[in-house]
Amino acid sequence: MPDASTDAVLFEARPDGIAILTINRPDQRNALGRDVREGLRAAWDRFEHDPALRVAILTGAGDKAFCAGGDLKEMVDTGMAVPPRAMFPLPYDSIELSKPTIAAVNGVAFAGGWMIAQACDLCVASTAARFAITEVKVGRSSPWAAPLIHMIPQRIMMEIILTGKPITAQRAYEIGLVNRLAEPEALMQAALDLAAEILEGAPLSVKAGRDTVMLATEMGRAAALQAARAASEHTYNSQDAQEGPRAFAEKRTPQWTGR
């Protein structure tokens, strides 16, 4: 498969099944300019269609910013009103993905930076990171934040959106936006450790588990139970569903095939 790396977004395909996507515009605080958007779109597409890759980590170059958001100069120059829905390559929204993703937030994640961190399944943050939905400060809006209600309490969400004020990584962890905190120098290792824990699971079980979480998020209790049972049938009928119990009984590590 062709290399999806660009100057704006670096792509590393590791032999352990982890892909690392790095927004590489530290001098622009990794803002979501056109080159970054195109680079992310190509990188996510490569990740999704490479069967050897099972988990992706998204981070930013440098230690100042994960992503400072959209390119405000571009918005001024183009007179942008409502951004096209497909403008920003968002995992599971404008980008179709079926595999787990982790945001490794190494600095500020403001506006569109919060947006792409929120879109990932999981989030590991540097203790030096800061998060903010700053659209009220520049007369824009943040409709993309609607799913945040499934992650944090309503009144906290309301304050964050209405004030536009940043919160620390510790606060983000306390309210449930962030899964794990790490010192800045240990951030990537913490993200890799989390990805490795996911890789220990059977691929089809991981997919069914992720589907279950999303179904439960989007449906009522009864409908989600019914849909999750249907989503799990393929897993139960797989070879891995026999391999797992057999390996447990034989006191050995299971050999997953994803079939």
What is the Cα–Cα distance from 34 to 14, expressed in whole angstroms? 27
How high is the pLDDT of residue 1?
47
Residue 88, SS3?
coil
According to CATH, the superfamily of the domain at 9-200 is 2-enoyl-CoA Hydratase; Chain A, domain 1 (3.90.226.10)
Q: What is the pLDDT of residues 79-132, one digit of tens each?
A: 666 777 777 899 999 999 999 999 999 999 999 999 999 999 999 999 999 999
The 10 Å CB-count burial string (b at 16+, else e) for 113-145 is: bbbbbbbbbbbbbbebbbbbbbbeeeebebebb
Range with the lowest mean pLDDT among 80-89, 102-111, 190-199, 206-215? 80-89
How high is the pLDDT of residue 77?
66
Q: What is the pLDDT of residues 40-82, one digit of tens each?
A: 999 999 999 999 999 999 999 999 999 998 776 776 667 666 7
